[in-house]
């Protein structure tokens, strides 16, 4: 059987402020305050890591705040594979191709969560059910 048809680990792209870290104010406040993890974050990151997922963090924070941002993440016990900074605060669109022979399996999905509610299993599951998605 071709590797193409074997389950592959997911690549997860996840925003920082309001999704995994508490959104508490403007950008300077986010950088100068003690930031807390939202519910379910550490558990979900540990789960993704054990499944071999690639974790890419995304943020509208400026590149000049990379060191502070990474320190905040490490202080909260998080690990990641990539950190993409300096995005806009507007919509983020992920575009991917469908794999031959697996056109029925989406290779790009989006889950929108309510700010500061975390990434608990319930929040993710509700978004998946609402959007009729298959998530990894």
pLDDT digits (tens, 9 = 90+) for 30-86: 777 778 899 999 998 998 899 899 999 999 999 999 999 999 999 999 999 999 999
Q: Is the pLDDT of residue 4 over 50?
A: no
Domain contains 17: yes
Average pLDDT, stretch 10-33?
Answer: 85
Number of domains in the chain: 1
Q: Which residue has the higher pLDDT, 75 or 136?
A: 75
Domain contains 4: no
Q: Is the pLDDT of residue 124 over 80?
A: no
Domain contains 69: yes
Q: Contact 58/84 with Cβ under 8 angstroms?
A: yes
CATH code of the domain covering residue 71 = 3.40.50
Domain boundaries, position 79: 10-131
- For position 135, what pLDDT does the model report? 60
Domain contains 2: no
Domain contains 94: yes
Domain contains 1: no
36: how many CB neighbours lie within 10 A of its CB? 13
- For position 129, what pLDDT does the model report? 67
Domain contains 19: yes
Q: In whole angstroms, what is the distance from residue 59 CA to residue 76 CA?
A: 17
Q: Is the pLDDT of residue 2 over 60?
A: no
pTM over 0.85, yes/no: no
Q: Which burial class, exposed, middle or buried, applies to 37 when counting CB atoms under 10 A from its CB (0-12, 13-18, 19+)?
A: buried
Phi-psi region of 27 (alpha: psi -120 to 50; beta: other; left: phi over 0): alpha
Across 53-63, b (16+ Cβ under 10 Å) vs e yields bebebbbebee
Q: Which burial class, exposed, middle or buried, applies to 34 when counting CB atoms under 10 A from its CB (0-12, 13-18, 19+)?
A: exposed
- Mean model confidence pLDDT for the chain: 84
């Amino acid at each position: 059987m071709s590797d193409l048809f074997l389950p592959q680990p997911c690549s997860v792209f996840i925003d920082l402020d309001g999704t995994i870290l508490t959104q508490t104010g403007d950008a300077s406040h986010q950088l100068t305050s003690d930031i807390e993890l939202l519910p379910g974050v550490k558990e979900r990151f540990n789960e993704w890591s054990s499944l071999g997922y690639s974790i890419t963090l995304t943020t509208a924070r400026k590149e000049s705040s990379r060191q502070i941002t990474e320190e905040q993440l490490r202080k909260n016990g998080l690990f990641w594979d990539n950190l993409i900074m300096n995005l806009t605060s507007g919509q983020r669109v992920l575009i991917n191709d469908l794999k031959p022979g697996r056109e029925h399996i989406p290779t790009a999905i989006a889950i929108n969560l309510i700010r500061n509610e975390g990434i608990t299993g319930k929040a993710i599951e509700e978004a998946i059910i609402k959007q009729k998605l298959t998530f990894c």
